[in-house]
Amino acid sequence: MEEENLIVIREYDSVNEAEWDKSLLEGAGIYTTIRNEIMAAVYPIGFAPAQLVIRNEDRAKAEEILDAYASE
């Protein structure tokens, strides 16, 4: 996957929250990965947040899914 095609859609202080949203997006067929996963787990909150990364072309669909889940 080419790096310039990827965007950070969300940042999390909790790796567990990032993993949960990652599973929601993957369930919808959206490629996703987490950056800074280990750093976010080891270092204090806010130092290196876990970043949920997706392809730029999936942004609208991913936002819709994450927003729908957040409003429940």
CATH number for the domain harbouring residue 57: 3.30.70.790
Q: What pLDDT, on a 0 to 100 scale, did the predictor assign at position 13?
A: 86
Q: What residues have CB less than 8 Å from 32, skipping those under 6 apart?
A: 22, 25, 26, 52, 53, 54, 62
Domain of residue 40 covers 3-70
CB–CB of 58/31 below 8 Å? yes
The pTM score is 0.81
Question: How many structural domains does the chain have?
Answer: 1
Note the pLDDT tens digit of each residue in 7-65: 999 999 888 899 999 999 999 999 999 987 656 566 666 667 889 999 999 999 999 99
